[in-house]
Amino acid sequence: MLDSVRVVDTAACDYYQWKKRWNSVDYGWLLRAFAQLKYRPVEKLTLTFGLHASAFTLNQTYSMPEPRLGVRYQWTPTLSIQAGAGVHSQLQPTYMYFYQPGGDPCVIEPDPYEERGYMPNRGMGFSQSIHYVLGLQKIAWGATRIMAEVYYQDLRHVPVELTPSSFSLVNTGAGFSRFFPGQLVNNGRGRNTGVESTVERFFKRQWLALFSASLFDARYQGSDGVWRNTDFNGRYAVNALGSREWKTGKNSKLITGAKITAAGGRWYGPADVVASNRERDVVFVDAQRNTLQFAPYFRFDLKLNFRLNRPRTAHDIGLDLVNLTGYENVLKLTWAPDDIASTPDIREEYQLGFLPIFYYRVDF
Burial grade of 76 (CB within 10 A; 0-12, 13-18, 19 or more): exposed
Q: What is the pLDDT, as a whole number, of residue 101?
A: 66
Q: What separation in angstroms does the CA of 342 have from each of 282, 284, 333, 339, 349?
A: 19, 21, 17, 9, 18
Instruction: From 233, 259, 275, give the residue that closes a domain.
Output: 233
Co-location of 209 and 66 in the same domain: yes
Q: What is the pLDDT, as a whole number, of residue 275?
A: 86
Co-location of 141 and 166 in the same domain: yes
Band of residue 175 on the pLDDT scale cut at 50, 70, 90: low
d(CA 16, CA 178): 21
Percent of the chain at pLDDT exceeding 70: 87
Co-location of 216 and 69 in the same domain: yes
Co-location of 275 and 184 in the same domain: no
Co-location of 46 and 79 in the same domain: yes
Q: Which positions ≥6 away from 287 have C-beta within 8 Å?
A: 166, 224
Dump pLDDT digits (tens) for 202-239: 999 999 999 999 999 999 999 999 999 999 999 999 99
Co-location of 218 and 273 in the same domain: no
Looking only at the bridges linking them, the beta strands covering 252-263 and 297-309 are antiparallel
| Interior/surface letters 182-200, b for 16+ CB within 10 angstroms, e for the rest | bbbbbbbbbbbebebebbe
Instruction: From 187, 211, 233, give the residue that closes a domain.
Output: 233
Q: What is the pLDDT, as a whole number, of residue 172?
A: 83
Percent of the chain at pLDDT exceeding 90: 69
**Are 257 and 303 within 8 A, CB to CB?**
yes
Band of residue 4 on the pLDDT scale cut at 50, 70, 90: very low
Helix (H) or strand (E) run with residue 209 in it: strand 207-221
pLDDT value at 282 more than 50: yes
Rounded to a whole number of angstroms, the CA Rg of the chain reads: 26
User: What's the mean pLDDT in 306-334?
Assistant: 93
Co-location of 267 and 310 in the same domain: yes
User: What's the mean pLDDT in 330-351?
Assistant: 79
Q: What is the pLDDT, as a whole number, of residue 178?
A: 64
pLDDT value at 65 more than 80: yes
Dump pLDDT digits (tens) for 80-125: 999 999 999 999 988 888 887 654 455 444 455 445 567 888 999 9
User: What's the mean pLDDT in 290-316?
Assistant: 95
d(CA 242, CA 207): 7
Q: What is the pLDDT, as a whole number, of residue 16?
A: 53
Dump pLDDT digits (tens) for 229-273: 999 999 999 999 999 999 998 999 999 999 999 999 999 999 988
Q: Domain containing 34 — which CATH number?
A: 2.40.170.20
Q: Pick the residue with more confidence: 277 or 327? A: 327
Co-location of 6 and 139 in the same domain: yes
Instruction: From 233, 267, 284, give the residue that closes a domain.
Output: 233
**Three-state SS for 148?**
strand
User: What's the mean pLDDT in 315-332?
Assistant: 94
Q: What is the pLDDT, as a whole number, of residue 336?
A: 81
Q: What separation in angstroms does the CA of 328 have from each of 104, 159, 214, 267, 305?
A: 35, 33, 23, 17, 26
Co-location of 90 and 215 in the same domain: yes
Dump pLDDT digits (tens) for 6-22: 444 444 454 455 666 67
Burial grade of 327 (CB within 10 A; 0-12, 13-18, 19 or more): middle
The domain tally of the chain equals 2
Co-location of 77 and 164 in the same domain: yes
Q: What mean pLDDT is reported for the chain?
A: 88
Task: Indicate the range of 139-143, 241-245, 317-321 predicted with least confidence.
Answer: 139-143
User: What's the mean pLDDT in 140-150?
Assistant: 94
The whole domain housing 307 covers 240-364
Co-location of 216 and 277 in the same domain: no
Q: What is the pLDDT, as a whole number, of residue 246?
A: 94
d(CA 161, CA 82): 38
Co-location of 268 and 188 in the same domain: no
Q: Give the predicted TM-score (pTM) of the model.
A: 0.84
